[in-house]
Structure 1
Amino acid sequence: MTFLPTRAKPAQNLATIVAAMVLKSTIRPFLSASSFVVAIQLPNAADVQLYEMAARQLLNADRHIDVDGKRTVVVDQASDISQSGWHLLARFDHVRRGVIFYTDATEISADLGLIIDHRVVMAPTRPVHFKAAAMRLGQHLTDTDADYLASLGLTAVWLAIRRDRPIRRVVRHLKAACRPDDEPPPKAREHGSVRLEELAGYGEAKSWGLQLAEDIASWKRGTITWADVDRGIILSGPPGTGKTTYARALATTCGIPLVLGSAAVWQAKGHLGDMLKAMRKTFRDAEAEKPAILFLDEFDSFGDRGSIADTSNHDYNRQVINGLLECLDPADGREGVVVIGATNNVSAVDPALLRPGRLEKVIEIPLPDAEARKAIVRYHLPDASLGDLDQFAKASEGFSGADIEKAARDARRTTRKRNGSSVTEAELLEAMPPIRTFNADERFRLAVHEVGHAIVGTTLWPTSLVKVAISSGRRVGIGSGALGKTTFDDPLPVIATANYLVDRIAIMLAGMAAERIVFGDHSTGAGGDEGADLCIANDLATMMERTFGFGDGLLTDLGSGRRPLESLRIVDRHLQALVRQRLDAEFQRATDILTARRNELERLASRLAETLELSGEDVRDACLASREDGYGQETGL
């Protein structure tokens, strides 16, 4: 354990201010509660005491004492809490607010785990924290120095600070002490050294993985049985979102082996019998290593027994999936083995594989948001001088984790060619694929399409529109993300009615209707993939006819295969006609609304083509200005 020196220091210095900032951000959700005990996992064990100091100041720990003289606020380290049972209960009986720090899940005993209300992982310090702290002290800190300080432990920074030592000298002093001139540059991280705690952009998958790590640690200690541990999940997301990286990092965090398998590897062994033999051997290998994580890539390639798309291989696929079901849910259980499947298309997975006891949950890994993209590029360029990365965040919209890794690799290459010492944000931006900027006509067409959605949505759901936006261009070779987006605070009712569904269909078709009104035709933007307007509208209309009984009868059929609703339409000509009628009716309704508001449509589209974003208020104000049209009177707009 590291103790902080007792020599005099200012009550607030750069390190303590940063610690307080990060801590407050971490426990902000709990501060409004009158009572809580939260356990915070720190990224660096050396900084525990500094964060303890910050927590005591934030919660005024020394001043909160009840009438019996007992402390009602506790700040401590999990490794220092040795009591159990009634002794532990007595210690926390009077506590209204508690913060417990730990660095490894094994530090928290089973009894202490019952006392804790919440467990959170503290994010690492960031350069912006050091810049803000320096500003509070009336000093200036460069982006390069802020990046460097954020790469160190807070305690090292705390120790280097003296009353007569300016921040710039603190940085020079740390560099001289921590990186001698003859020390070789840091080596790239190996796969097995990356922990899940360090990764960004995984959302719910990261939370699930950290909980799994705690459960496995408890199982190893014998405090819970395997029945209390999740059996596995399906990771679903676009290519390049880091599903394999996630599995490796999770295994490292759990401290257990990672076993790899896939349908392609097993198929390569030979005919059906050889494939099934290879499959069972992989599961046996994982069991021999238990506890272990078994990662099965391209999980959708096993197929769906209900699919009618390829009947020639139906019997083969059925036997493969039956074999996989036996491995996932054997008669003698699957103790010690967690299975993670990864797929870009979860709809192609046989539903039987997702039942309890097998792969029990589907977790979506989305493309990383702006903050996650910044964290990912900092991870791949740990020694770079990147500044606040705001420009990179805007320029990398739609990038996957793999796209960002490639950009970082290309930026390092550029820096080496120029004999530079570290990558800058300018070099990172230079290394990114070029942008194909839309011309004025293209921006206007995109704007017309999105404003069509916005106006019809505002007419049918008057207060739900949040914003409408279009892109100024597209990076060459990076994904095929949406070029425009109309965002609604979707008023999804607890029990949806037919009126709600037909309104949604009308809104989905409004972009295409707007293009036809203004240009006389529509572009390919309305279709082309499963998430496109036309595809969603077709599926909603099909569900109304065959799933929810809103059509001409009560016959129900859920379809089969990876696109079950599409499979229904293919084989049922009568259903095709019913769906077409619904689509035509809602397309006409959208057209009528937009025709009556043609002036607003074109004015708003012209504004959007210039500004690239309009708020919901902008659209509502424009619609309110023309109350004389029939739709405005009808909806009260």
Structure 2
Amino acid sequence: MGDEKEPQGNPWMKSLLIWVGILLALVAFVSMFDSSSRRTDANAIPYSEFLNRVEEGSVKDVEIAGDVVTGKLSNDQTFRTIAPADPQLVERLAAKGVSFRAKAEEQASFWMILLYQSLPFLLILGIAFFVMRQMQKNAGSGAMGFGKSRAKMLTEKHGRVTFDDVAGIDEAREELQEIVDFLKDPTKFARLGGKIPKGALLVGSPGTGKTLLARAIAGEANVPFFTISGSDFVEMFVGVGASRVRDMFEQAKKNAPCIVFIDEIDAVGRHRGAGLGNGNDEREQTLNQLLVEMDGFEANEGIIIVAATNRPDVLDPALLRPGRFDRQVVVPRPDIEGRQKILEVHMKKTPLAPDVDARTIARGTPGFSGADLANLVNEAALLAARKGKRLVAMKEFEEAKDKVMMGAERKSMVMTEDEKKATAYHEAGHALVSLHVDGCDPLHKVTIIPRGRALGVTWNLPERDRYSMSMKQMKARLALCFGGRIAEQLIYGKDALNTGASNDIQQATDMARSMVMEYGMSERLGWLRYRDNQDEVFLGHSVARSQTVSEETARLIDQEVRRFVEEGETTARQVLTENLDELHRLAEALLEYETLNGEESKRAIKGESIGRDESGGHRHVQIGAGGSSIPKSKRPGGGWGDAAPQGA
């Protein structure tokens, strides 16, 4: 939000006028030398014809200027010719009675000669100066601006963002509000010996609002705000990135106090010396220059660096020490209160129906980031507009939530009756296990309508935001993973198994391995960690490192993983065997209604009416010949989807 500049005209129109002026100058230059010759060449005649006219007596008068002869014919027509060194010309004219006179040859002035000779060079120099000036204006786009900073000063006259537009991340906002206060009134903190922080690092998952926070700082601080991406520093030539860092800080010093925002700083701030080869590459040179500029021999007073990343683990330790990035502000995914506030911010510009409740939507969207919630509101508005509605109702928000969580409905999906029935039993098995096993999240929705990459989805949502999982909950989720496969076994037999449960098996295996190797949930292996998630770069590829374990320990790990998986399988089989009638009823209800929520599923397994209008509740999916090879897909947040067998 830097100093206001005087309004300038349209730059495109200005460039057009300059080029038009250059073109007109070229036309005038050419016409200056060509106009006189065109005028005289129109009346030029050969010298031989001139002599014939003299002999005929058709020449009226003549003017001789050097070797140029001009005059008039008897019919008053003018002529011009070039005479060679002819000593008898005067005698011939006198013999024929032609009136003639001599005229001194005109000499061009020194200044005209100088102008004619220098005008082409001046024109070329003018064009070159204009082109070079344009290249220097666009720093980094041409040869002269190759080492210039690409940081742009942000001046938001329209669409200005303030802290009022940032919701759901109150702690991060308070941390940055202090920086804004310091910029507005530094004496308030200086009285007690406080110094302005050098930098603030925003850390959070994608979509949590890091860039939005930076824009809010620009809107609140009312100081110059430069923004640049980490990738803008890196070029194929060594030293260019360092030059751009120097130029960026020079611009910032001229506008201090100011804020410089570097988005995705991990592109340039990765740990030095990782992998093989020497470290004297372009990225490390750029990082070294950035470290020196932030806290080196020369102090950069009044310049605050705000950076954002979702990979803080790969950043160089020298970048994170106090004196450079003094503060690491964590921008987490919002809780239910934060989600409600974020929804209310995005709903301000959307006309809502009276039945819309932001609290209810927030409860049904655990794990959503700010970007996810913005997308949810936008999808609901698009659905309402597609239906020709003037207000966005709760029904559109529910449909939008299903679309964001589980994918769009694939209404044109072609399935046979047998495939649809198998999908219904598979999803009914997942749902029944989640209703009977203690520790499972409440059943939210189960559907056999193809969505995204899945032929059907069973969706479980926690009652409140969860920040950790107990061993009981993880074992319940293992049983839930096998509910679909075992339901198909009980109905169709072991020989009818297909590849549709491959994703269930993968989830169960990964979870059991994490329980054994990371969470210390195995009594035989104890509270030890056998996995290291850190990555290192090896010849440009990321390679996961694992701690070396003995063959005996590795065998024991495999045994414990198998034990956890088999316990989950046994639990699921016991539940479905004891409640086989409920499995049939739930599968039949899914075949009839295709989508059931948690309460409707509970009524269906009891044989009760689900309380839905028969005429309006039935939804059709196109059924017919054909198949699919879509792999099984688990949706984030607890969804299990039944996929078609691969190669079917």
Q: Which is higher, the Rg of structure 1 or of structure 2?
A: 2
TM-score calculated relative to the size of structure 1: 0.48
TM-score calculated relative to the size of structure 2: 0.47
